[in-house]
Structure 1
Amino acid sequence: MIHRLTNLEFLYLGNNSFTGNLPDSISNASKLTTLDLTYNIFSGLVPKSLGNSGLLEVLLLAGNNFISEPSPPESSFINSLTNCTKLRMLTLTHIPKNGTLPVAVENLSASLQVMEADGCGIRGTIPNGIGNLSGLVSFSLYGNDLSGSIPNTIKGLQKLQGINVGNNKLQGSIPNDFCQLPELSGLYMAYNQLSGSVPACLGNITSLRQLNLSSNKLTSTLPASLGNLKDLLMFKADLNSFHGNLPYDIGNLKVVTELDLSYNNFSGDIPGSIGDLQNLVTLSLEHNDLMGTIPETFRSLVSLETLDLSQNNLSGLIPKSLDKLMYLTYFNVSYNKLHGEIPSGGPFRNFTSQSFLPNEALCGATQFGVRPCKTNYVVVVLLTFVLLWIRRQKSKRLPVEIDLQPVAEHRRISYQEILEATNRFEESNLLGNGSFGSVYKGVLSDGMVVAIKVFKLQRERALKSFHVECDVIRNVRHRNLTKIITSCSNPDFKALVLEYMQNGSLEKWLYSHNYVLDILQRLDIMTNLSCVEYGLEGSVSTSCDVYSYGIMLMETFTRKKPTDEMFAGQMTLKWWVKESLPSSVIQVLDRNLLRQGSENSLAEVDCVSSILKLALDCTAESPEQIINVKDVLATLKKIRVSLAAVAIKELQH
């Protein structure tokens, strides 16, 4: 029947259970621009007649049972695609090819932006002519049997943002040619046989957000220039043969969330500068030759969830201040030379002996499997006496009626100062617009950089919003809540002067091409948000609050604003998401969430599906049907556990 659809432009058949061969007559749909057959059970050969589809822009064939093509490679259907001069996207992931990548790939359209051929059993080398594909933005050959070196022609891919050649058998060194790719944000070369040193010039690629060099044969020291990557979110160089000291400049990676340098030969002290990495969630330094003490500066790692320092030569005490790391869930200092008392407060209440074996000089609670600490009875009695004496003296000096509560002191600021700080609300200083106000970046007279929210008093409820925000931000402290500095209020003008958030807003991270948030990061942001401005752990929110939270969940995981031009009439963000569940969620989720080369992408899609289902429960038609706020948080935490399990499974493989 398809040969009769001569005016067909878009054909989406993905994520079904279609079987059989693709007919050659598919090329009769001469106006076809998009063909999506992903994750079905199609078999047989891919018709070469697809090459006759001169208007074809998107060809998605991933996840089917197409058979390998006969030799020679020149006869493959990829060779026929060289006629498709408008082709922008080509996915062949998990199609068993079991041959070499045809040289013809270098003659594909210069318009090609995305090419994925993961898990296809491709042998041989990466064709030298790959640099001809000058339009490539994303290129992935993860999980094949490629060997040889990475061709230096890679420098021709000047628009490339992400490349994944992980889990192959590539050899040779990391070419300096990567340093000539000005827009590169993701470089994944894990699980190969690369050797030599890390090029120092990688530190010049300031666009880098993720760098994965795990499980290779890399040697030498890490170049200090990597400290220039101030926007790097993930750096993994575990399972190599690096040696020497950890560079002190590693503390410049201010926004990094994952740092894994385990299973190497690093020596010397752990740099105290790591304590500056306040966004760090995972720090793995196990199985090295690190010496010295655990830096006291680690108390500043307020976001830390995983800390592994096992299998080193560390000595000294475990800093008691680590018990202030409220998010720490995994801690391991086994097989070191530590001594003294193990902290017993905060997250340490949940740790067991597995975290501390076999540091024979440690002491502490019985749950840690170590000997009890000796207590100097005389010192305890003396300190108790001194504290009681001090308390008694204070009670004698202070009248009962004195209010001991500290008074917050906010600096005063005038309307004129706000005008000067924002250069009279110059448009270049505008950070964003909201329903009740606009936010500007400003510089006060003392040089302090601030964010100034100016309320639109002509809007209904804007005045109430001003007072509510003053109360909330003044009385609630949370690591994800902006600090208020002062306010400016007169009958005709009201503004809040807030701490300037250097990392920007969630909107900036979602919609800018220079920033990347993965599924876990987005889920953590929304979980933290639910606990503070929506009150899901405190007082009961209104159904309106929960409804708006549900819409924000949809926006965060689809990367579509409710006001997007695609939504008109009945077609709303909520309707679009609802229609996608449960079988077509991949059509609506933000494609940036699908990690290239991940073997668990389907599991991640299932997790996003659960999140969007929760979002719909938050936006039910009547207030009586809207989900209970406590159930919202419980569901988010369950999904978080599932995602963490997916990540652990991937690490184990």
Structure 2
Amino acid sequence: MRFWLVLQQWALLILIITTDALNNNNETDRVSLLAMKSKILDPFGGGALSSWNESSHFCNWEGVVCGKRHKRVTRIRLSSLGLSGTLSPLVGNLTFLRQFWLDNNTFHGEIPSEIGGLYRLERLVLEMNSFQGRIPASLSHCSNLTHLYIGFNNLMGTLPEEFNSLSMLKKINLHHNNLTGGIPKSLGNITSLEVLSAAGNLFGGTIPNNLGQLKNLVFLGLAGNQISGMIPSSLYNLSNLNLLSLSFNNLHGSLPPYFGNMFPHLERLELHVNNFTGQLPNSIGNLTKAVELVFAYNEFSGKLAVDFSKLVNLVTLHLHFNNLGSGDFDEMHFLEWLTNCSSLEKLNAAFNELRGVLPDFVGNLSSNMDFFSLSTNHLQGRIPPTIGNLINVSHLSLFNNRFTGPIPSTIGKLQNLQRFPLFGNQLSGTIPDSIGNLSLVYDLDFSNNNLEGTIPSSIDNCQSLISLNLTQNNLSGTIPKELFQVSSLSIFLDLSHNHLSGPLPSEIGELKSLVALDISNNNLSGEIPGSVSSCTSLESLFLQGNMLQGSIPKSMEFMRGLQILDLSSNNLSGQIPTFLEKLSLINLNLSFNDFNGELPLHGAFANSSSVSVYENDKLCGGIPSLQLPRCPVKKLNRNFFFSSKRIYAIVGASILGILIIISSLVFYLRKRKRESKTLELQPKESFVQISYGELLNATDGFSSSNLIGAGGFGFVYRGVLDQIGDVAIKVLNLVNPGATRSFIAECKALKSIRHRNLIKIVTCCSSIDFQGNEFKALVYELMMNGNLEKWLHPSQDTSRPEFNLLQRLRVAIDVASALDYLHNQCELTVIHCDLKPSNILLDQQMVAHVGDFGLARLFHPEIGISHHSSSMGVLGTVGYAAPEYGLGSEMSMKGDVYSYGILLLEMLTGKRPTDLMFVHGFNIRNFTSQALTGNAIEFVMDPVILKSDIVIGQRDNCLIAMVKIGLACTEELPQNRMNMTDVVRELQQIKKAIFK
């Protein structure tokens, strides 16, 4: 009896102590939550965490859930609220916490080691943030942890070996961080593991053999690392796998014959971009639940003998870039097996060694087929008319084979077709009229074939066409005017190396968006139509090798974007017009014509490597390196000079002229002293005179509704001027001591430079406003598509089209061309000093214009760099300014090159150079260079540009080449950086190679 009495007393005592402890711990939870809130930045002004205050119990705060009995915090869920800041170490005091969700925000800093104190924690979801530093080993103390999601952050270092103690762990997502070292063998001891996702890191070494112990594993993702060696045989014990992704590594060896028998539940198999060899095992046909099979970019070889007929769920089969093929008579029989795969949407077997004919039963493939490519093989014979049965195909690619015969007219049934490259075959016959049914096609390439006849006029129905290539065929007849009414043509039109005749239609001027036009090496006659000047986007024009005659049309002086012009090997005559000096030409070929007179000296004519005028026997003058004869000197009438009356007239006029000059000079100096507010330098071309009142009216009194930008030196308004139209008006804030210097610098820099890719200034306005205050403003042409910053980093509430790879490449070329002009083609070199996305503006056609010359410097070879004030300090913007500027080095062209390189890397990765991930010496340059060495280019690119319709191999080649240019521009030592002329040339070569 006494024993029970004592026991009751102890129980009561324990209850009292526990109650007190719980009350105290309630207070601990509240304090911890408030500490957590203090470290969080809420962009919506406290909207998400507005309830986290003393007015209510913390169990009622948004995102917080407490236990019903003890009122302790058991769950925090703050997903996708746009929150940033750091994670307070006091979160470790929430000891009843079981679920913690902070995913899809922008938290940064390290994951505090105190989080290891949450011994009841079951789910930790921190993915899609910017957390840095190492994964805390203390997480191994969270013995109840079942789900650990820390992917899509900036975590570094190795995966803690201590994680093998997490015996309850089912899912661990580490993907897309910067983790190094090897995949720890200790993971093989967590036998409860179902998901291991570690893609997109820097893991090296081999795949641990003991991962084969994870019998419950359904998802193994190790893609995009630096893992080498062979697939360990133990992995074939993982019979529950739904996904096996080992792509983008350095794995090698062959797949065992029994491979397909070991994974009865496998739905996705990704082995692409490795070094696998040997034959694809026939047992692949036993992966009956397979939805996606990707074997591309390896060295698989031999006959493709897999019976795919049982893979009724297969949607994607990628076999491209291997050595598949045997030359057997039934080489293409695998297509018949695939006709049983009714869900098949994507089939890519391009860049292999397949031989034989394309069988008629290709038309029996799935009606869901969207992407079909057999390009760059050794297929021969005719393209079967049954190809027209693939009515939903959008990309049909058969280029670089040995196909003969005509293009089947049944292609007109493919009304969803968007890309249709057939180049590099031996096709003959005419282009079928049914081509006009392809209203969605945007890329047609029939080049390098034996096509004959005329270009069908029905092509004018292809109103989505942006690129058409018919070069190297036997086409004849005149160019149909309907072709030039395809207004969507914007990238490339190539009709060269055919037998086209007749005049160049005047309708050519309707191609206002076209960038490159090549009609060279045909039999065209007549004159170059003046309407060609309406092709305002044209950068390259090739008309050489025809029978054109007459002179160069004067209207071509308005083609200010033209960079390459080839008129060689024609019958053109007359004088070479001087307006060609003013165009931004980097290559001008006028050879083998009948031009006469004196050759101009400036612009492209000043550089013998930019101009060619061979075999024009009547030309004279020019720069000495062109080795033309001197032009004859005109003889004057000697009697004119020796007439006494004329001598008196000349002397008198000279004296009068000198007096006028002296008087004007005195008047000018007095006026300049009296009018101190007059602009220091006026441009060579007169600016439009605009008053303060006109600008006030144009902007509705500088209304905030017209405010489109703000910066350190003032505000930018949109306005409408009667005599000009839409303009942007930069009003200087003269309270800022640097504003006047910026105003003068910008006017000086823009006083004589004119280039398609530079912002055009309408006027520099310096006057007095209605209150008698000093007023300074710059008026520019308005860029309808805003600045590059908004396209690279759109806000969540901004709705705009995706900024694709081609557009980014074109912008990169535009900006590089502008810098090349400023550095190498101006009378005085201009150093921009502040190149960044917000200073690059895009017009309605998405042509880029470099603007904001407020920090620009002029360089004269004898005087050096202009200085507006010794107090200007280090120029440029953090992240874009060259490192040597911070050490006091003089501003230079190489500094602009560095800024351009950073800009180019930002355009490719979608990350600002000031991103929170770039700390402790790790920067955007390191980030992209690691992708090159790690063979993981797609893992660092902006996801938007990975959606390109370009063939993946071509796309990646383009990205790699552009990254290499960015890295070459951002070398630490200025002398090791590229020059902008080379940048322009290499970017244009990339564009020509990829976007034919």
Task: Pick the TM interval, shorter chain.
Answer: 0.7 to 0.9
Q: Is 1:556 aligned to 2:891, yes or no?
A: no
Alpha-carbon offset, residue 389 of structure 1: 7.7
Contact map agreement 1:219 1:243 (CA 8 A) in 2 = yes
Matched with 1:521 is 810
- Residue 315 of structure 1 aligns to a residue in which SS? strand
What SS does structure 1 have at the residue aligned with 2:806? coil
Deviations 1:352-385 (A, max 9, x none): 7992232222212443333211011538999xx8
- Matched with 2:137 is none
1:230 match: 487
Pairwise CA distance, 1:581: 1.8
Tell me how far apart the structure 1 counterparts of residues 926 and 311 of structure 2 sit (CA, whole Å): 33
Matched position secondary structure for 1:118 = coil
Q: What is the one-letter code of the residue matched to 1:481?
A: L
Equivalent residue number for residue 410 of structure 2: 153
**What is the TM-score of this pair, normalised by structure 1?**
0.78
Residues 536, 439 of structure 1: CA spacing in aligned structure 2 closer, same or farther, 3 A cutoff?
closer
- Name 1:544's counterpart in structure 2: 879
Superposed displacement of residue 288, structure 1: 0.9
Choose 169-178 or 504-513, whichever is displaced more. Answer: 504-513
- The answer for the alignment partner of 1:18 in structure 2 is 276
1:481 is matched with: 758
Q: Give 1:276 shift.
A: 3.3
Contact 1:34 1:57 in 2 (8 A): yes
Equivalent of residue 560 in structure 2, options 289, 297, 302: 302
Q: CA deviation at 1:186?
A: 1.1
Quote the offset at 1:334 in angstroms: 2.2
Q: Could you report, residue by residue, the CA deviation over 1:324-359 in whole angstroms, capped at 9, with x for unpaired residues?
A: 234323x22222222111122222122279922322
Identify if the C-alpha distance between structure 1 residues 470 and 512 changes in structure 2 by more than 3 Å, giving closer, same or farther.
farther
Q: Of 392, 413, 434, which residue of structure 2 is paired with 1:177? A: 434
Task: Mark the CA change 1:576 to 1:114 in structure 2 (over 3 Å): closer, same or farther.
Answer: farther
* Residue 251 (structure 1) aligned with residue 509 (structure 2): yes
Partner of 1:410: 690
Displacement of 1:40 = 2.0
Q: Post-superposition shift, 1:311?
A: 1.6
- For the residues of structure 1 that align with 2:278 and 2:455, how far apart are their CA atoms? 48
Residue type at the aligned position of 1:584: N
What is the aligned counterpart of 2:521 among 263, 275, 283? 263
Deviation at 1:322, TM superposition (A): 1.4
1:395 aligns with 2:624: no
Mapped contact 2:699–2:717 kept (Cα < 8 A): no
Do 1:164 and 1:596's aligned partners in 2 also have CA atoms closer than 8 Å?
no
**Alignment of 1:123 onto 2:389:** no
For residue 623 of structure 1, what is the aligned residue in structure 2? none
The structural deviation recorded for 1:536 is 9.6
What is the CA distance between 1:270 and its match in structure 2?
A: 0.8
Q: CA deviation at 1:154?
A: 1.8
Q: Which amino acid aligns with 2:759?
A: T
User: Are 1:607 and 2:961 matched, yes or no?
Assistant: yes
The CA distance in 2 between the partners of 1:269 and 1:355, in whole Å, is 21
For residue 243 of structure 2, what is the aligned residue in structure 1?
8
Distance 1:482 1:642 in 2: 24
Shift of 1:63: 1.7
CA contact (8 A) 1:187 1:212 kept: yes
CA change 1:39–1:637 in 2 (3 A) is: farther
Within-5 A mapping of 1:207-218 = 207-218=464-475
Compared CA separation, residues 537 and 556, structure 1 to 2 (3 A): farther
Identity of aligned residues (%): 30
Look up the match of 2:199: none
Q: 1:514 to 1:143 in 2, by over 3 A?
A: farther
Deviation of the 1:650 alpha carbon: 10
2:439·2:461 contact (CA, 8 Å) conserved in 1?
no
Give the Cα–Cα distance (whole angstroms) in 1 for the partners of residues 504 and 510 of structure 2. 13
Query: Aligned partners of 2:742, 2:283: CA distance in 1, in Å?
Result: 63
- Aligned partner of 1:398: which letter? S
- Give the structure 2 partner of residue 112 of structure 1: 369
Matches within 5 A, 1:632-647: 634=979, 637-642=981-986
Asked if the contact 1:246/1:266 (under 8 Å) is kept, the reply is yes
* 2:938 paired residue number: 587
Partners of 1:97 and 1:358 in 2: CA distance: 49
Note if 1:144 corresponds to 2:401.
Answer: yes
Cα gap change, 1:597 to 1:171, in 2 (>3 Å): farther
Shift in Å, 1:141: 1.1
Change (3 A) 1:424 1:550: same
Structure 2 Cα separation of the partners of residues 498 and 188 of structure 1: 40
Query: Quick one: structure 1 residues 357 and 612, their matched pair in 2 at CA, closer, same or farther if it must change by over 3 Å?
Result: closer
Across the aligned residues of Structure 1 and Structure 2, the Cα RMSD in angstroms comes to 4.9
In 1, the alpha carbon distance for the partners of 2:818 and 2:410 equals 46
- How far residue 134 of structure 1 moved from its aligned partner, in angstroms, is 3.0
Distance 1:362 1:525, change over 3 A: closer
Contact 1:253 1:277 in 2 (8 A): yes
Q: Please tell me whether the aligned partners of residues 410 and 485 of structure 1 are also in contact (alpha carbons under 8 angstroms).
A: no
Matching residue's letter, 1:541: G
Output the TM-score relative to the length of structure 2: 0.53
1:485–1:339 CA distance, 2 compared to 1 (3 A): closer
Write the distance in 2 (CA, Å) between the matches of 1:614 and 1:399: 51
345-354 or 357-366, larger mean C-alpha shift: 345-354
CA gap of 1:646–1:483, structure 2 versus 1, over 3 A, is: closer
Q: Distance in 1 between matches of 2:662 and 2:654?
A: 13
User: Which is further off, 436-445 or 388-397?
Assistant: 436-445
Distance 1:219 1:473, change over 3 A: farther
Whole-Å Cα distance in 2 between the matches of residues 469 and 371 of structure 1?
48
Q: Report if the CA contact (8 A) 2:315-2:345 is conserved.
A: yes
Q: Which residue of 1 aligns with 2:636?
A: 378
Structure 1 CA distance for aligned equivalents of residues 521 and 586 of structure 2 = 22
Residue pair 1:185, 1:208 contacting (<8 A) in 2 also: yes
Which amino acid in the other structure matches residue 482 of structure 1? Answer: I
Contact 1:140 / 1:596 at 8 angstroms: preserved in 2? no
Task: After TM superposition, give the deviation of residue 211 of structure 1 in Å.
Answer: 1.0
Paired residue secondary structure (1:517): helix
For the residue of structure 1 that corresponds to 2:569, the secondary structure is coil
**Does the 8 Å CA contact 1:422/1:441 hold for their aligned counterparts?**
no
Q: What amino acid is aligned across from residue 582 of structure 1 in structure 2?
A: T
Q: Which runs of 5+ in 2 are unaligned?
A: 1-232, 248-270, 642-649, 673-679, 793-799, 823-831, 836-854, 859-864, 866-874, 883-898
Distance 1:389 1:596 in 2: 75
Distance 1:481 1:141, change over 3 A: same
| Residue 514 of structure 1, CA deviation | 10
- Alpha carbons of 1:333 and 1:575: their partners in 2 closer, same or farther (altered >3 Å)? closer
| Match for residue 242 of structure 1 among 500, 506, 509 | 500
Structure 2 SS opposite 1:146? strand
Q: One-letter code of the match for 1:77?
A: F
**How many residue pairs are counted as aligned between the two chains?**
621
Structure 2: distance between partners of 1:345 and 1:486:
26
Name the amino acid aligned to 1:216.
N
- Which of 95, 99, 112 is matched with 2:352 structurally? 95
**Aligned position for 1:499:** 781
**C-alpha distance in 2, partners of 1:471/1:26?**
71
Q: Is the 8 A contact 1:441 1:451 kept in 2?
A: yes
**Alpha-carbon displacement from aligned partner over 1:440-466 (angstroms, at most 9, x marks no partner):** 9887778934568999x9xxxxx9999
Amino acid at match of 1:121: H
Q: 1:279 aligns with which of 533, 537, 546?
A: 537
Write the distance in 1 (CA, Å) between the matches of 2:764 and 2:583. Answer: 32
